[in-house]
């Protein structure tokens, strides 16, 4: 007596609307987990908190690109974009096409720079430069000390 007849047109239209809405919601959900910016920031803080020269590496799983600033990191991937701030800083963001990149990868400062002043100038220049998104599969952090200049390189 209170049944809805299944041959009524409004039942089929309502069912089509509900089905298309459910399909739209399901396809709008990200297919991958967001990248881990907090873990990367903890790695940077661990090296920055050290009193001595130190190196840290953090895999950037689910991340396609990374942008490092002097006080934060952003990672972007299929699952979205995540941001995290550093507890220690400021750090020195290292771009791939700079002389600081060799230092980040393990070269000694006196083999790259002619003087501690030139090293200090490169650090200040890197901290003031506009940061850009770079492709990366891991984050490398290195604390370097050379004749009064102390820096935490991140790239």
Whether the predicted pLDDT of 135 surpasses 70: yes
Whether the predicted pLDDT of 142 surpasses 60: yes
Whole-number Å distance between alpha carbons of 88 and 108 = 24
Query: What does the pLDDT read at residue 7?
Result: 66
Phi-psi region of 151 (alpha: psi -120 to 50; beta: other; left: phi over 0): beta
- Average pLDDT over the chain reads 88
Residue-wise DSSP of 7-26 = T-HHHHHHHHHHHHHHHHHH
pLDDT tens readout for residues 6-40? 666 777 777 778 888 877 776 766 667 788 899 99
Of 97 and 35, the one with more pLDDT: 35
Average pLDDT over residues 131-155: 92
Whether the predicted pLDDT of 111 surpasses 70: yes
Strand partners, 82: 75
Of 26 and 104, the one with more pLDDT: 104
Query: What does the pLDDT read at residue 31?
Result: 66
Whole-number Å distance between alpha carbons of 101 and 126 = 11
pTM of the model: 0.79
Whether the predicted pLDDT of 3 surpasses 70: no
Share of the chain above pLDDT 70, in %: 92
Are 154 and 92 spatial neighbours (Cβ–Cβ below 8 Å)? Answer: yes
């Amino acid at each position: 007596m209170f049944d809805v007849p299944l041959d009524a047109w409004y039942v089929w239209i309502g069912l089509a609307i509900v089905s298309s809405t459910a399909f739209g919601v399901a396809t709008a959900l990200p297919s991958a987990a967001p990248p881990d910016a907090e873990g990367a920031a903890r790695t940077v803080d661990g090296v920055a908190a050290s009193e001595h020269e130190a190196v840290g590496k953090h895999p950037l799983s689910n991340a396609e690109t990374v942008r490092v600033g002097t006080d934060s990191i952003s990672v972007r991937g299929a699952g979205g974009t995540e941001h995290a701030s550093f507890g220690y800083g400021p750090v020195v963001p290292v771009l791939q096409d700079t002389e600081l990149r060799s230092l980040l990868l393990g070269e000694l400062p006196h083999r790259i720079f002619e003087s501690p002043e030139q090293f200090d100038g490169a650090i200040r220049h890197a901290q003031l430069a506009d940061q850009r998104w770079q492709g990366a599969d891991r984050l490398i952090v290195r604390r370097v000390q050379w004749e009064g200049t102390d820096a935490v390189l991140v790239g």
